[in-house]
Structures are given as structure tokens and as C-alpha cells.
Amino acid sequence: MWKNLIPFNQSDLNLEFRSKAWVEAKVLKVAFELKGDLSNILLPKPLVNPSRVIGLWESTCFEMFVKNSSGDEYFEFNVSSAYNWNLFYFPSIKARLKEYTNISNLAVSAVKKEDSFCLKFWIALDKFPSGFWESDNMKIGLTAVIENKTGPLSYWALAHKEDKPNFHHMDSFIFEL
């Protein structure tokens, strides 16, 4: 089911923004959809050879956080419209940023039209550590950073739980599969 993302601050971007996550045939799939005037949003075209990049959140970046409710560990996926990506593993809340290297690539696709953009990515559940994925116990945060060509970055999420953007706040992982 699609869920709306909301901006942290009132945005001058006139957008409808929604996302969803689901499991199909033991694959976790994620979709983000923007509708509206995209002319002021930086959405680089897909690269022929995308790569793993740290710092994607400094520009337009689509993110998913995945946590098993029974523990503190979680994963952060970052994906750009250029198909660059990264995946981080946090063994606990406030742990240091650490790339999860058990995955060497991430499947990504996107479709851009004049007034819409849809980005999807997916990963097989067996790529997570043994025992991490428990279908009845997963919480997900769906978020994005949007770079406005004429203004500041805007921060979008299913929920904002602090007085500043913080996508790592566990109470914002409100999407349940």
C-alpha cells in the first residue's frame, strides 16, 4: 500500500510524494513516486555504470531504513536517480556509519516523465544476515532528500519525530509489511 511522504519544513515544491515497500517471492521491493512540477528538482539521468557512493544524501536521494523490531540493528539503503547506491549496517542505535559489503550491487530502475518520476529498487531477503529478516517483525522507514535547483534541500519522510530532520529516529520507522 502506498504511503505519503511529508516534508520536514513547508516546501515550495508542489509535489505529491508517496512510497511503498513489499515482499514478493522472497525479494524486498521498494518504490518512490513523485508527481507534480519536477522542473526545479535535481534528478540526474541514470548512469551506464552506477557505483556505490557515500554521501548520496547531499543531493536527491531515496532512502529506506529496515529494522527487525526484536533488536537494535538496522540497515540504511541510499539510492540516487543516477542509480548510484549504498547500503549501511548499524549494529545499534547511534553506531558509526559502516558500509554493508555483503552486497556488491543493487537492482534499480526508474521512469521519468514530464510530471512524474518513479524509482524502484529491490534486494533478495537472503542478502540480509541470517536471522535478521522475520516477516512478522520488520519496521521500515521510507525517506528522501530532494534537491531543489533554486532552494535548499528538503527532507521527506513518513513521519518526523524531532525538531530537525533525523531519518534514523526509530519512531519514524512506521511502515510495517
pLDDT per position as a tens digit, 155-165:
999 999 988 88
8-59 pLDDT tens trace: 987 667 899 999 999 999 999 999 999 999 999 999 999 999 999 999 999 9
Report pLDDT for 39.
Answer: 92
**Most distant CA atoms of the chain, gap in Å:** 45
- Contact between residue 40 and residue 150 where contact means Cβ atoms under 8 Å apart: yes
Average pLDDT of the chain, as a whole number: 92
Which CATH number does the domain housing residue 67 bear? 2.60.40.1190
Going by pLDDT thresholds of 50, 70 and 90, the confidence category of residue 71 is confident
pLDDT (tens digit, 9 = 90+) per residue, 103-146? 989 999 999 999 999 999 999 999 999 989 987 889 999 999 99
Express the helix, strand and coil content of the chain in percent, nearest 5 each: 5, 45, 45
For the segment 60-67, the average pLDDT, to the nearest whole number, is 96
Count of structural domains, the chain: 1
User: CA angle, 145 as apex, 152 and 158 as ends, to 5°?
Assistant: 120
Give, for 111, the enclosing helix (H) or strand (E): strand 107-113
pTM: 0.94
> Could you tell me whether strands 15-24 and 138-147 are parallel, antiparallel, or unpaired per DSSP bridges?
unpaired
Evaluate if residue 63 carries a pLDDT over 70.
Answer: yes
Residue span of the structural domain in which 105 resides: 3-176
Beta bridge partner(s), residue 157: 6, 143
Closest CA to 77 of 172, 2, 177, 168: 168
pLDDT band at 81 (very low <50, low <70, confident <90, very high): very high
Residue 135 DSSP one-character state: G
The CA distance from 49 to 108, in Å, is 12
